[in-house]
A and B are shown apart, each in its own frame.
Chain A
């Protein structure tokens, strides 16, 4: 009985690896399902796939382990991330249920399915444990190649056809035919005038202001900041820096300092010299 058990179990190191990494893999899978953002789901799934690659390596499937990392975490997950970027990272799931009680029903179904699968595996008579020592004797890649190019050569050829079909299909699906004539430059210009859009180029940031940083709005003749002069991204983020108050306080501080130093209270030339020195500081 014990000899049979010994032949039927793996090393302690592998058991340790299985329990630690298996826990992480299940946690990653759960995160994939329950994370609100698609990007987080994708990252969790990539982690689970890397752990599965380690399990393949532990199970003697060296070629598959490397292919798993290269193809799945390298290519497929990057494709997923790319599409998440295209479709929009902020597209979080709505929590509104369209079918009443669908979540709970789905959870119950999943639980039942899991119990069914586990019971099935538990009841199967899996008494055989040969190990891959003999099969991998000439190397795992050589063994796989011998099988793929002899016994499974037909399936291999069909796989090639499938890949070509998939590539053509992806191109057909994402290609968009232009249905209307492209507008000429004259038509575009006329449209712009007709719609009453802002016709001349946008004002540059920092024009007529005391600073020329891009996030500081240029000042209009009456001293108010011109919002249009700051680029749209900064405008939408609300990162416009308004320094008019700052400049006035700078000026005040300078005047105060010069007054302190010169110990005189005449305002006319003091403010003039203060303004000059301040503008020199700003241009630095």
Chain B
């Protein structure tokens, strides 16, 4: 009974360790997608909202 418990525990620990190792490895596309999001957020389309809001504010203030 104890042997079964120990084996189960060891299997669970090995599985958990394996999962953590896989998760900690950087995904090959994470740098690319993060850079893409960064560049997209700086595009003129993304910036239009802030620019338009400021333009409206300036017009309202005369």
Q: Do A and B come from one complex?
A: no
Spell out A's residues near B (CB within 8 Å): none
Spell out B's residues near A (CB within 8 Å): none
